[in-house]
Amino acid sequence: MKGNFVFQTRKSNRSLWVIECIDPNCSWRLRASKIVPESTKYVIRKYVGVHSCSLLNRNANHRQATYVVIGEQVAPQYVGVEKGPGPKGVQNFARTELGAQISYYKAWRGRKHAHTLIRGSPEQSFHVLPSYFHMLEKLNPGTVTRIEVDGESRFKYLFLAFGVAIRGFRYMRKVVGIDGTFLKGQYRGVLLVATAQDGNGQCYPLAWGIVDSENEDAWTWFLTQLKEIIGDTDELALISDRAPSIKKAISTVFEKAHHGAYFAGYMIEISNRYLRVAEYLENEVGFEKWSRCHYPGLRYNIMTTNMVESLNSMLVNARDFPYVALLDVIQEKMSK
């Protein structure tokens, strides 16, 4: 392929594979057969490696350079990394390593096939998820996992909290930021995150969840699982954005904890420019939701959900992974 010579299959069955140059007058050919009839491995029995055909038969648009072949060849470049080469990088790889000119679309399909070889398909991910969670609980004592399915036994939600994070929360500030970020894989979904903060102001990832969307039912389910591992006391503060679904879910699940909404700005400036907005913040939202001095609990200096956004940005390259591969990245990050 690298020499731009095109070959064709002369004979192919369960035990024999014979290919030859597309030029019938060329002497290049390869013959391979199974080692033994029961084996799945082939051995080359005969190989004539010199082309005697015209150089005019060379073609950089090699028909054997399918997206499957490209994906298999470029797959090692995605091992142990989150991003790897993009479609243009795959095009360059095919040109320099295989001597083939491929389209952007074929490069994109080859890259997708390489991802599947290394990280598995989304369907495989759903299939192994229960076993994956079982091994996490076995190898990480105290780890809490949950899988929710619908009436037809199809995946709906998942929840994961590592045992070490649960045990360490007792020494953290009792302020938990929650937020979600969309996933970009085949089945989309939303990654929900709950994180605390230690005494040095560092992020302390506490729990993870994957749901269909940021709606009230999904948040209620996630927060119910979160409540089981952190409890519900009047010392606990939950910080989020102003999404109505989060507000309703928190009021439903947490009866004692306080809720603070993230709002950046100054009340006086808002009053001068947007009187109706100021009235809304004062009368409908309430100062206690976004003003630290009016907040009934203890939220320290945490006025935003930036600690959650930091975790979301940490996973920006893994958001199109199958769910199990994404959880692998999360576990790797948690182990550092």
Sheet containing strand 203-211, edge to edge, reads 144-149, 155-161, 203-211, 190-197, 173-182, 237-240, 258-261
Q: Could you tell me which of 103, 29, 41 has the C-alpha nearest to residue 70?
A: 103
pTM: 0.74
Give the residue ranges of DSSP H helices in the chain: 67-74, 87-97, 104-119, 122-139, 163-168, 216-230, 244-253, 267-273, 275-279, 287-290, 306-314, 323-335
Helix (H) or strand (E) holding 175, with range, is strand 173-182
pLDDT of residue 108: 94
Alpha-carbon dihedral sign for residues 203, 221, 181, 284: negative
Q: Name the amino acid, one letter, at 229.
A: I
pLDDT of residue 115: 92
DSSP letter, residue 292: G
pLDDT of residue 281: 66
Cα–Cα distances in angstroms (integers) from residue 32 to residues 136, 144, 161, in the given order: 44, 52, 52
pLDDT of residue 265: 42
pLDDT of residue 149: 93
Sheet containing strand 29-34, edge to edge, reads 7-12, 16-21, 29-34, 42-48
176: Cβ contacts below 8 Å, ≥ 6 apart = 194, 195, 196, 206, 226, 230, 236, 237, 238, 239
DSSP letter, residue 281: I
pLDDT of residue 260: 60
What does residue 169 show for φ and ψ, rounded to 5 degrees?
A: -65, -25
What does residue 87 show for φ and ψ, rounded to 5 degrees?
A: -55, -40
Q: How far apart are CA 325 and CA 2, in angstroms?
A: 33
Count other Cβ atoms within 10 Å, centred on residue 86. Answer: 13
CB 114 within 8 A of CB 78: yes
Average pLDDT, consecutive stretches of 10 residues, N- to C-terminus, the chain (336 residues): 77 90 88 89 91 74 83 92 91 89 92 93 93 94 94 93 93 86 90 86 88 93 95 85 84 82 54 72 59 52 64 85 93 84
Q: Could you tell me which of 24, 19, 26, 98 has the C-alpha nearest to residue 61?
A: 98
CB 305 within 8 A of CB 177: yes
pLDDT of residue 284: 65
13: Cβ contacts below 8 Å, ≥ 6 apart = none
CB 101 within 8 A of CB 94: yes
CB 173 within 8 A of CB 300: yes
